Amino acid sequence: MANLYPALFSPIRIGSLEIKNRIAMMPMGVFSPRLMGPNGAYTKDGADYYIERAKGGVGLIVTGLLPVGLYPKGRGPGDSGEGFHQYIEQQKYLASGIHRYGAKVVVQISALTGRVSTHLAEPAACEISNVWDPTKKHRQMTREEIQAYVEKFANAALACKRAGIDGVEVHAVHEGYLLDQFTISATNTRTDEYGGSLENRLRFPCDIVRAIKARCGKDFPVLLRYSVRSYMKGFNRGALPGEEFVEFGRGLEESLVVAQKLAEAGYDALNCDNGSYDSWYWAHPPVYMPKACNVDDVRVLKKHVGIPLICAGKMDDPRLADDLIARGEIDMMGMARPLLADAQIVNKFAAGALDDIRPCIGCHQGCLSRIFQFKDICCAVNPACAREKSYGVGRADKPRNVLVVGGGLSGMEAARICALRGHRVDLHEKSDRLGGVFIAASAQDYKEDDRRLLAWYIRQMDQLSVNVVLNSTVDKAFVSENQYDHIFVATGATERKLDTQGLSGPNVTYAIDTLLAPEISGQNILIVGGGLTGIEIACDLGRKGKTVTVVEACDTILNAFGISAANTNMLLEMLDFYRVTVLTSTTVTRYENGVAELLTTVKNFPNAANRAKMMYTVGPAGIPIPSFVKADHVVVSVGYSSNCRLYEDLQGENVHLIGDADKPENVLKAIWDAYDAARKI
């Protein structure tokens, strides 16, 4: 077969390390006890998660971070005690497993997190406010602690080398973590040798690489995770793509100098993206971010440094990556979440089978959200991620006749898994196309990956010979007349309606029809409902120049379970950028003649300093205050109610209720419900 992407699949050297292709797996944290042991080495399950990606064709794997200072003295690889030697022995399985498939592995070793930690006892570069609670401050890290950390980095790197690991990546002058806080003047007000001038601010990460090279040898590769730009407008405020702003963190001009100095200090490659926890959506791009969002900054950096640059950030297009590498604008393509969604993505690149790739949809529900819930890393669209061996799909002992009712994501996932297990599957869908509510959910122009996922599922139905019957309504009589061993009820959910006066007129649409409509007329738009769908609609209409007001009955917006802070914060910035007005604790009482009557319940919530916000107490129920807003069009997005009547009619041990028909929640639940139930049949 001809090499479709010759530059992408050409070898590259990072220091003394030769890598078979230009595709690197970016760090995706593995912190749960099932995946990471008490001394920082990966368990067999944790190592197998990475080995599966090596098997999938990736050239270089950069593991999730190893916090070298987290462990009690003598317990971790950053010390020279028993934990150091245990780490070496336990990591050998990871190294040998990855090498078996011709890939190379680099362990990311990390300092503390400073102001981005949820633990206020952690020191920062200087006394500075916490990201999550700006009313609280972290203390300044002492010089003795800094020097102790340099030693821990050197020890941890040596442990990795002795375990057969190919190199280390220092975490990080990146994303606003501790080392990044030292390098940026806005987050480092120290007056000693670690603050002030740029040379002083870079002393900590430069001392680290020198110590590692002294301990492990100059030919032991050391990479650095690096944010080219911070995209900060201030503390807790990020800039959006294309927004004009004054950089509060590290700007591009200074970044060029910083990168040169880091290379001179001894770093062999820079693993690049952008952002900080104040602009978290750059480092962890949600669905709302453009593809290859960091390329423009990395290609500028490439003109000024001679060491290899890896570019990450929604980099899942092999054609684009091949072109960028061929033109010398980047050196390697970095992917993280796409490798969670489909561990075989690199092999599929090589085979030209792009339509067979299960895409990441940028939801962060199974990866980031779960990591910070202290659960196993996984993937919303790939329930077997990080548990491929224990939770995979095998062939059933005996083929069964299976009926799936409903052709949304949950129904198609149930049909897919049953077909993979060797069962005969009939899928009945009441409409004239597959996709269910996900057709509307994927309609906005930036949701190309959602549409790719939908197309992938439909392709799976064809490839696995699932008998799809459209325009078919299934009832109890149909089931009685046919012989099925198992029945999956994936009948979805129905939009909730409001009986508010005026909300059934011609200028009122509900969420699904709104998403499917080509255009909404009128300038002033009222969105009723501040959940994820309502806010996405509000941002999209604001982007198109509409004057948008959102009303939400609850005291906060975006209350859906599992939304990552990266997604939430970007949506909040978009609301501000597009000048969307948000009114919480507010309901619509009437809509008439282009005017909506609102009722806002004012409550005496504490202010940012945790003190009284109002000059008097209003009681637990608050004060209802009426107001009026002009609305040429009203969009109602107030959630969904499960459509489970068929399940209630059928009942039985062989009848399985899945997805929104069980409980409307998110893509993760819809797919995981189906996967879990279907793999047991």
pLDDT tens column, 212-222: 999 999 999 99
Measure Cα distances from 221 to 15, 301, 325, 329 in Å. 6, 21, 21, 22
Rg (CA), the chain: 27
Q: List, as one string, the DSSP characters of 452-478.
A: HHHHHHHHHHHHTT-EEE-S----HHH
Domain with CATH 3.40.50.720 in the chain: 401-495+640-678
pLDDT tens column, 430-485: 999 999 999 999 999 999 999 999 999 999 999 999 999 999 999 999 999 999 99
pLDDT tens column, 275-303: 999 999 999 999 999 999 999 999 999 99
Domain with CATH 3.20.20.70 in the chain: 12-371
The pLDDT of residue 2: 64
CA pair distance 172, 179, nearest whole angstrom: 6
pLDDT tens column, 575-626: 999 999 999 999 999 999 999 999 999 888 888 778 888 887 777 777 889 9
Choosing from 5, 42, 49, 177, which is the catalytic residue?
Answer: 177
pLDDT tens column, 651-678: 999 999 999 999 999 999 999 999 999 9
Q: In the structure encoding, which two tokens stand for residue 264, read together?
A: 């001179």
The pLDDT of residue 1: 46
Confidence of residue 373 (pLDDT cuts 50, 70, 90): confident
Average pLDDT, the chain: 96
Confidence of residue 421 (pLDDT cuts 50, 70, 90): very high
State residue 171 phi and psi, 5-degree precision.
-110, 115
Assess whether the previous peptide bond of 263 is cis (omega < 30° from 0): no
The pLDDT of residue 609: 79
Q: What angle do CA 522, 528, 534 make, to 5 degrees?
A: 90
Domain with CATH 3.50.50.60 in the chain: 508-636
The CATH code of domain 401-495+640-678 reads 3.40.50.720
Active site residue 484: no
Regarding the domain with residue range 508-636, which homologous superfamily does it belong to in the CATH classification?
Answer: FAD/NAD(P)-binding domain (3.50.50.60)
Q: Which residues contact 352 (CB under 8 A, 6 or more apart)?
A: 1, 4
Provide the 10 A C-beta neighbour count for residue 319: 12
CA pair distance 41, 161, nearest whole angstrom: 13
Give the end-to-end CA distance of the chain in Å, rounded to a whole number.
38
CA pair distance 164, 216, nearest whole angstrom: 12
The pLDDT of residue 5: 98
Mean pLDDT (whole number) for 98-123? 95
Provide the 10 A C-beta neighbour count for residue 625: 12
Q: In the structure encoding, which two tokens stand for residue 295, read together?
A: 């390329």
Burial 572-595 (b: 16+ CB within 10 A, else e): bbbbeebebebbbbbbbeebeeee
pLDDT tens column, 184-230: 999 999 999 999 999 999 999 999 999 999 999 999 999 999 999 99
Amino acid present at 232: M
The CATH code of domain 12-371 reads 3.20.20.70
Mean pLDDT (whole number) for 366-380? 92
- Whole-prediction pTM: 0.95
Measure Cα distances from 37 to 31, 34, 90, 101, 381 in Å. 9, 7, 9, 24, 27
CA pair distance 569, 574, nearest whole angstrom: 9
Mean pLDDT (whole number) for 637-658? 97
CB 42 within 8 A of CB 30: yes
pLDDT tens column, 48-94: 999 999 999 999 999 999 999 888 888 889 998 899 999 999 999 99
